[in-house]
């Protein structure tokens, strides 16, 4: 029995991979397995290679991915070419035997640099270059077993049985892959059925056809190969779990917090969160508005916040850039609003569908002048939910914008997670005006009593202003009002527990320290557990106000400190240096936009800890 299976399922964008993954994930989860699935795709609607890289576990909810895999499920020849070297010894490749003779030259969607690398590699390996030659090579060298399935004839059978056209039948390739994985892993029929029914709710006929195909292929694969990858069941205590991606769990958090208004302009990988909220607006009637641009997204969000509505917008780097002027206005006018910021590869359009953590400085410092802002960063699904709620509480308590940093990895990462502990959550609305005479919005400080538009007469202005909100340029008043606002951040620094702003994982008194934030969290924790050295991981969760004391105390104790980040220059080291004066000398960075895999991080850490290098650039992932 296996307790962990790593797999990649790949195919052309729009060819049904999404369906495959939804049904399989649902089947894994309902069979009591833990799942973590990363989604990699191009900025493209149809035709480019996309894949899902997943880990399924019967002992825990997985935290990170391995670069090598047990199963490679190929919907097309391109998937074989792109991923064949990732398959482990004694692994399995599911593929369409009708493409046996195909060479990479026939695949137009392959990018040229990969084509060139493949040519060189085939020369090195002495491989002819057809799909079957690759499979022969893998069988000889790594004992990899090919699960040969003749897709056209399997689909032909379906076509005849249900009297459909061949183009209709071609849309069922996803079920061939599901059937093959199900056969190898001996998944319970019932759990697959549930997944299919959920996916095709209200479309009984389509569900039935998919079920037929899955059953057919499962039997074929079992007969030929047995079920060598059967797994034990996960011994989880939970009787209910959520299976969600980061966009969804963040949306759930915002809705639990009482979100009333969300504006957005379409952008990957943030838009799915807004669509999720709109779809589930339900009786809470959250108003989700697609605005004409991000300038309007941020400013309409501010307008809504002035009425006392919990308001947010969700965006990514290019959109956030456009929002910065609005952010400054919200700062000087002490507006509680939340920007949910999903980072992707930049600058400019950069790698629009790939992950990044390169916007830390942008989140902390963009916008001219200075005003207080709170910056939270989430490292996993659980944190994303908690932070989404916390963001609104902090925004209202300190009457200032909050930026909630996430990234593309988390946005699209599907995971089974325990239900959020809603019972432990509170909704804190901060200082509110309780009525009386002569209301002045910016009276006293640092925190003024907040009335909503509609309750009292009040003025707001982006210019420096008096307590009443009227424009003023008097130097003394400028000092007073500027200090009033900036003091809020000092207050937040005093009131927010440093232990929640930076969390330490690992042994007591570590010799070395790995420092990171956001979605490097889980792979960092897995990696320190795999290293022989006594090393801990310090996870930063709040960048403003920065938990200086706690961070510094860990940094000072460590022999070697290594920053790990999805960026070119380890932004976190720059921030630490600015805030504490401590210079972090080592870094492991990745800026291909692909996830950091456990084994590559462990390998690079060994190099850094041994003193051979002080900087490693990770590259794995096609």
> CB-wise, 471 or 578, nearer to other proteins?
471
* Contact (CB, 8 A) for 605 and 510: no
Q: Contact, 127 vs 81, CB < 8 A?
A: no
CB of 430 to other proteins, least distance (A): 12
Among 44, 170, 268, 291, binds other proteins (CB under 8 A): 291
Nearer to other proteins, 178 or 389 (CB): 389
d(CA 520, CA 515): 9
Question: Considering beta carbons, is residue 282 or 581 the nearer one to other proteins?
Answer: 282
- β-pairing, 311-316 with 287-290? unpaired
Q: Using CA atoms, how far apart are residues 158 and 161, in angstroms rounded to an integer?
A: 5
Give the span between the Cα atoms of 358 and 317, in whole angstroms. Answer: 9
The two tokens of residue 78 are 């391109």
C-beta closer to other proteins: residue 213 or 384:
384
Q: How far is the CB of 449 from other proteins (least distance, A)?
A: 15
Pair of tokens at residue 174 = 């996803």
Q: How far is the CB of 546 from other proteins (least distance, A)?
A: 28
Nearer to other proteins, 121 or 194 (CB): 194
319 binds other proteins (CB under 8 A): no
- CB-count burial class (<10 Å; 0-12, 13-18, 19+) for 108: exposed
* Gap between the Cα atoms of 505 and 498, Å rounded: 15
Query: Please, are residues 399 and 336 in contact by the beta-carbon 8 Å criterion?
Result: yes
Closer CB to other proteins, residue 263 or residue 586?
A: 263
**Residue 452 tokens, joined:** 């909503």
Nearest distance from residue 594's CB to other proteins, in Å? 26
Q: Which stretch binds other proteins (CB under 8 A): 12-20, 106-114, 237-245, 266-274?
A: 237-245
258-287 residues in contact with other proteins (CB under 8 A) are: 258, 260-261, 263, 280-287
Among 256, 487, 553, 569, binds other proteins (CB under 8 A): 256
Alpha-carbon distance of 140 to 490, in angstroms, equals 65
- Token couple for 358: 């390169």
| CB distance 150 to 95 below 8 Å | no
Residues 97, 442: Cα–Cα separation, whole Å: 72
Residue choice 236, 351, 486, 503 for contact with other proteins (CB under 8 A): 236
Which residue among 55, 310, 485, 560 contacts other proteins (CB under 8 A)? Answer: 310
- Using the rule CB under 8 A, which residue among 62, 183, 303, 372 binds other proteins? 303
Task: Please identify, among the stretches 9-17, 235-243, 497-505, 575-583, the one whose residues bind other proteins according to the rule CB under 8 A.
Answer: 235-243
Q: CA-CA distance, 239 to 101, in Å (whole number)? A: 48
> Which one, 307 or 349, has the nearer CB to other proteins?
307
Exactly one of 104, 274, 309, 400 binds other proteins (CB under 8 A); which one?
309
Contact 262, 312 (CB under 8 A): yes
Q: How far is the CB of 423 from other proteins (least distance, A)?
A: 6
**Distance (Å, whole) CA 277 – CA 282:** 9
**Binding footprint of other proteins, residue count (CB under 8 A):** 86
Binding mask 321-340 for other proteins (x = CB under 8 A): ----xx--x-----------
- Least separation in angstroms between residue 258's CB and other proteins is 3
The residue within the footprint of other proteins, chosen from 71, 244, 338, 492 (CB under 8 A), is: 244
| Footprint on residues 425-464 left by other proteins (CB under 8 A) | 425-429, 452-463
Q: Which of residues 393-432 bind other proteins (CB under 8 A)?
A: 416, 419-420, 422-423, 425-429
Q: Which is nearer to other proteins, 239 or 476 (CB)?
A: 239
C-alpha distances in angstroms, 451 versus 88, 329, 426, 531?
62, 18, 21, 54
Rounded-to-integer distance, Cα 549 and Cα 494, Å: 12
Tokens coding 255: 């809705």
Q: Give min distance, CB of 283 to other proteins, in A.
A: 6
Residue 304 interacts with other proteins (CB under 8 A): yes or no: yes
Buried b or exposed e, range 257-277, using 16+ CB within 10 angstroms: bebbbbbbbebbbbbbbbebb
59 by DSSP, 3-state: which? coil
| Residues in region 176-215 near other proteins by CB under 8 A | 188, 190-191, 198
Q: Which is nearer to other proteins, 112 or 423 (CB)?
A: 423
Residue list 9-48, contact with other proteins (CB under 8 A): 26, 29-32
Q: Angle of helix 189-199 relative to helix 204-225, nearest 10 degrees?
A: 150
Site for other proteins in 46-105 (CB under 8 A): none
């Amino acid at each position: 029995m296996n307790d962990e299976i790593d797999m990649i399922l790949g195919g052309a964008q729009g060819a049904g991979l999404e369906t495959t993954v939804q049904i399989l994930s649902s089947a894994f989860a309902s069979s009591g397995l833990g799942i973590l699935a990363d989604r990699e795709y191009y900025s493209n609607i149809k035709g480019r290679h996309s894949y899902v890289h997943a880990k399924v576990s019967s002992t825990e909810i997985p935290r990170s991915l391995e670069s090598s895999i047990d199963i490679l499920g190929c919907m097309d020849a391109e998937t074989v070419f792109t991923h064949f070297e990732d398959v482990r010894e004694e692994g399995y490749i599911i593929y369409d035997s009708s493409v046996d003779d195909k060479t990479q030259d026939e695949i137009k969607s392959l990018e040229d640099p990969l084509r060139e690398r493949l040519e060189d590699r085939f020369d090195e390996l002495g491989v002819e270059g057809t799909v079957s030659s690759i499979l022969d090579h893998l069988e000889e060298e790594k004992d990899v077993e090919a699960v040969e399935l003749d897709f056209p004839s399997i689909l032909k059978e379906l076509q005849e049985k249900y009297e459909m056209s061949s183009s209709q039948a071609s849309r069922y390739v996803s079920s061939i892959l599901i059937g093959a994985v199900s056969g190898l892993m001996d998944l319970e029929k019932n759990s697959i059925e549930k997944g299919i029914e959920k996916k095709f709710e209200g479309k009984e006929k389509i569900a039935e056809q998919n079920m037929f195909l899955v059953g057919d292929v499962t039997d074929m694969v079992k007969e030929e190969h047995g079920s060598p990858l059967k797994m034990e069941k996960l011994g989880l205590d939970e009787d209910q779990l959520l299976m969600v991606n980061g966009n969804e769990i963040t949306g759930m958090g915002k809705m639990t917090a009482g979100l009333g208004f969300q504006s957005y302009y379409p952008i990957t990988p943030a838009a799915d969160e807004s669509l999720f909220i709109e779809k589930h607006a339900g009786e809470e009637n959250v108003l989700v508005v697609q605005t004409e641009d991000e300038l309007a997204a941020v400013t309409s969000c501010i307008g809504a916040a002035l009425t006392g509505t919990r308001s947010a917008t969700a965006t990514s780097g290019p959109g956030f850039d456009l929002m910065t002027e609005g952010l400054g206005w919200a700062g000087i006018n002490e507006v509680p609003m939340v920007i949910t910021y999903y980072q992707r590869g930049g600058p400019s359009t950069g790698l629009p569908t790939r992950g990044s953590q390169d916007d830390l400085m942008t989140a902390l410092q963009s916008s001219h002048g200075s005003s207080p802002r709170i910056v939270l960063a989430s490292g996993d699904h659980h944190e994303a939910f908690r932070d989404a709620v916390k963001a609104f509480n902090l925004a209202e308590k300190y009457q200032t914008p909050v930026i909630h940093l996430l990234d593309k990895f988390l946005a699209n990462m599907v995971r089974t997670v325990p239900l959020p502990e809603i019972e432990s959550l509170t909704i804190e609305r901060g200082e509110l005006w309780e009525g009386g005479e002569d209301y002045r919005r910016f009276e006293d400080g640092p925190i003024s009593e907040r009335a909503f538009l509609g309750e009292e007469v009040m003025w707001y202005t982006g210019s420096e202003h008096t307590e009443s909100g009227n424009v003023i340029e008097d130097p003394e008043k400028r000092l007073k009002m500027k200090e009033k606002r900036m003091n809020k951040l000092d207050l937040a620094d005093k009131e927010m527990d440093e232990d929640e702003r930076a969390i330490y994982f690992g042994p007591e008194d570590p010799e070395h320290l790995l420092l990171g934030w956001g979605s490097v969290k889980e792979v960092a924790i897995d990696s320190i557990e795999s290293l022989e050295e006594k090393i801990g991981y310090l996870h930063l969760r709040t960048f403003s106000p920065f938990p200086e004391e706690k961070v510094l105390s860990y940094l000072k104790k460590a022999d070697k400190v290594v920053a790990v980040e999805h960026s070119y220059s380890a932004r976190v080291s720059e921030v630490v240096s600015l805030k504490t004066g401590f210079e972090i000398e080592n870094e492991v960075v990745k800026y291909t936009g692909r996830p950091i895999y456990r084994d590559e991080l462990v390998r690079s850490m060994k190099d850094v800890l041994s003193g051979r290098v002080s900087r490693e650039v990770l590259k794995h992932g096609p």
